[in-house]
A = this chain, B = another copy of it.
Amino acid sequence: MFSTQTYADRRERLKAQFKSGLLLFLGNDESPMNYADNAYPFRQDSTFLYFFGVDHPGYSAVIDLDHGRTVIFGDDLTIDDIVWTGVLPTVAELAAQVGVTETAPAGSLAVYLQKAKDREIRYLAPYRPEHRLKLLRFLGLSLDEQDAKASVDFTRAVIEMRVIKEAQEVAEIEKAVDVTVDMHLAAMRMARAGARESVIAAKITEVAMAPGGNLGYPAIATVHGETLHNHGHENTLQNGQMFLVDAGAETAMHYTGDLTSTCPVSGTFTPRQREIYQIVLKAHLTAIAHLKPGVPFKQIHLLACRTIAEGLKALGLMKGNLDAAVEEGAHAMFFPCGLGHMMGLDVHDMENLGEVWVGYEGQSKSTLFGLKSLRLARPLKPGFVLTVEPGIYFIPELIDRWKAEGKFLDYIDYERLETYRDFGGIRIEENVLITETGCRILGKKRPLTIEEVEAVCKGL
Contact = CB atoms under 8 A, between A and B. Distances in A.
A458 to B, nearest CB: 24
Interface stretch (A95-103, A109-117, A202-210, A272-280): A202-210
Contact of A129 (B82, B129, B205, B207): B129
A230 interface: yes
Interface stretch (A33-41, A66-74, A323-331, A447-455): A33-41
A416 interface: no
Given A38-B348, A218-B41, A199 B210 contact: yes
Contacts of A351: 35-38
A390 to B, nearest CB: 16
A452 to B, nearest CB: 26
A35 B352 contact: yes
A223 to B, nearest CB: 12
A31 B37 contact: no
Contacts of A37: 348, 351
Interface stretch (A149-157, A158-166, A299-307, A395-403): A395-403
A46 B31 contact: no
Given A129-B130, A143-B136, A203-B206, A229 B84 contact: yes
Interface residues of A, number: 71
B348 A87 contact: no
Contacts of A80: 369
A373 to B, nearest CB: 9
Of A31, A46, A233, most buried by chain B (CB within 10 Å of CB) is A31
Contacts of A208: 202
A86 B143 contact: no
Nearest to A199: B210
A230 B81 CA distance: 11
Of A38, A205, A233, A345, most buried by chain B (CB within 10 Å of CB) is A38
A234 interface: yes
A237 to B, nearest CB: 14
The oligomer's copy count stands at 2
A127 interface: yes
Interface string A211-239: 11000011000001001111111100000
A419 interface: no
Given A43-B33, A198-B211, A395-B83, A347 B227 contact: no
Contacts of A211: 198
A460 interface: no
Nearest to A198: B212
Contact of A206 (B43, B133, B202): B202
Contact of A82 (B31, B41, B203, B397): B397
A281 interface: no
16 contacts: A34-B43, A35-B348, A38-B346, A40-B41, A79-B397, A80-B369, A83-B336, A83-B398, A85-B229, A133-B133, A136-B143, A196-B210, A199-B210, A201-B209, A205-B205, A212-B234
Given A34-B352, A129-B129, 9 more contacts: A37-B351, A79-B397, A86-B224, A86-B227, A86-B232, A87-B397, A129-B130, A202-B206, A202-B208
